Amino acid sequence: MVNKVEGGILAAKGYSVASKRIGIKPKGENRDLTLIKCDVPATVVGTFTRNVVKAAPVKWDMKVVAGGKASAVVINTGIANAATGDEGLENCRREAEAVAKSLGVERSHVLTMSTGVIGPQLPIEKIEQGIYDLSKCLVAVPYTNTAVLRPYFDGNKANAYMEASEAAKAIMTTDTIPKEIAVEFEMSGKTCHIGAMCKGSGMIHPNMGTMLGFAMSDVNIEKELAQRILRALVERTFNMVSVDGDTSTNDTFVWLANGLAENDELSADTLGIKLTDIDETGTEDIRDLAKKLTERTSRLLDGTPEKTAAQDFAELVEALYTVMEYLAKAMASDGEGATRLFIAKVVGAPDYETAKILAKSIITSNLTKAAIYGRDANCGRIFCAMGYSGAKFDPDKTDITMMSSEGSIKLIEQGKLPEFSEEEALKILSPDEITALCDIHSGDCEATAWGCDLTHEYVTINADYRS
């Protein structure tokens, strides 16, 4: 069973964090530099932007992930270190070198991430000093049931969790709320955790993973299997989010697994599957594979390695999905200038791909997003967005129902506009979470996408982003 717990990125064993303001952006008082350390080199996997224009830290981190191990992450806000050429890459190297010297880790095990304005170079000397300062004040939750022992810090668990929350705030740019979550679950009799945080409010139309995101876990897992799991879940969560249709130059999501929970290593071999059995495109839901493996081993004796592995796989997939879905929805609801989370759920599709295309077309329609902002029951805009999506469906069989905490109202029935109460529609479209349920009556597949409304404030924010 997967349970949400406190702790953010410090919920899992073996991680420490600190953040501070070094003044990368001259205005404001927010912290803008964050350092995360892992007690032991962790297995690392990740997904990155498919934008051809890749920021320097994306290029650096792709090499770190290819190497398979990470011991630390340094994140700055204010400047994206994108469109910065060779100097940008050299600054990533200098950041990693500063972390390596300050923490006693391998430079090739240091992830560097940046978010902010595209174009300017990083104030690298200021960042190097900031890294050194942060290395002296890392905060963590002590643990004593592993081979790695940490001196108790002057405080308690609550202080550490507070610092984790401060880190979630420190990575924000135009975000209005920090986005963090932690879950607890069991693998082979051991208690495991995943703690995660992300930032993302604008330039959100991920075609890889997310904006900047971090999942810190203490599970023991084979790298190749972890990478397949991550990609499969990214397609069902982060890649179903859009705020403004822009894919960032810096999009990165990394998952670290340090093994300190001491569960039996989970691998394709222990599961009795091939890595290719996991569909990285998300067309086949990895949670369905987990169910099949659990059912296949259900008659085996408890404690049998293959049965234990199947149970562990199901728990891990559910835990990571819980984390990633939560963060995806949090980003959508916190879109720049947004006042409402807008969810498009397409059901009755002949296959997942059809449902996915339709759902994403709905949430990316500016006319639809504007109607959601105005609480306008103009369902023709949703119907129109479905029609130009490229997906095949029969409009004359389609029903569209708008739903919220105030109830539901059908605005398209078998392809036609039925009579409805404008007053009732206004009430249903007023809460801060609105769902468009679109049934195309052609099968039993479904997909859900998350977006937000389009407001005047979005234009205001992005008209003077650099100022």
Place of tokens 């728990």: 315
* SS3 category, 251: coil
Residue ranges of alpha helices (H) inside 346-421 are 352-363, 366-373, 380-387
Cβ(72)–Cβ(113) below 8 Å? no
Give the residue among 431, 427, 394 at the shortest CA–CA distance from 412.
394
Give the residue among 274, 211, 197, 285 at the shortest CA–CA distance from 243.
211
Give the CA-trace dihedral at 425, 429, 435, 437, to 10 degrees: 10
CA dist 200 and 327 (Å) reads 9
Cβ(258)–Cβ(13) below 8 Å? yes
Q: Which two structure tokens, joined as six digits, stand for 108?
A: 């090739």
CA dist 289 and 305 (Å) reads 18
Supply φ then ψ for residue 189, to 5 degrees: 80, 0
Cβ(110)–Cβ(127) below 8 Å? no
CA dist 233 and 209 (Å) reads 9
- Inter-CA distances, 2 with 191, 192, 295, Å: 11, 10, 19
Q: Which of 210, 247, 308, 398 is catalytic?
A: 210
- Inter-CA distances, 453 with 39, 240, 356, Å: 42, 16, 19
Cβ(427)–Cβ(411) below 8 Å? no
> Can 460 be counted among the known catalytic residues?
no
Active site residue ranges? 210
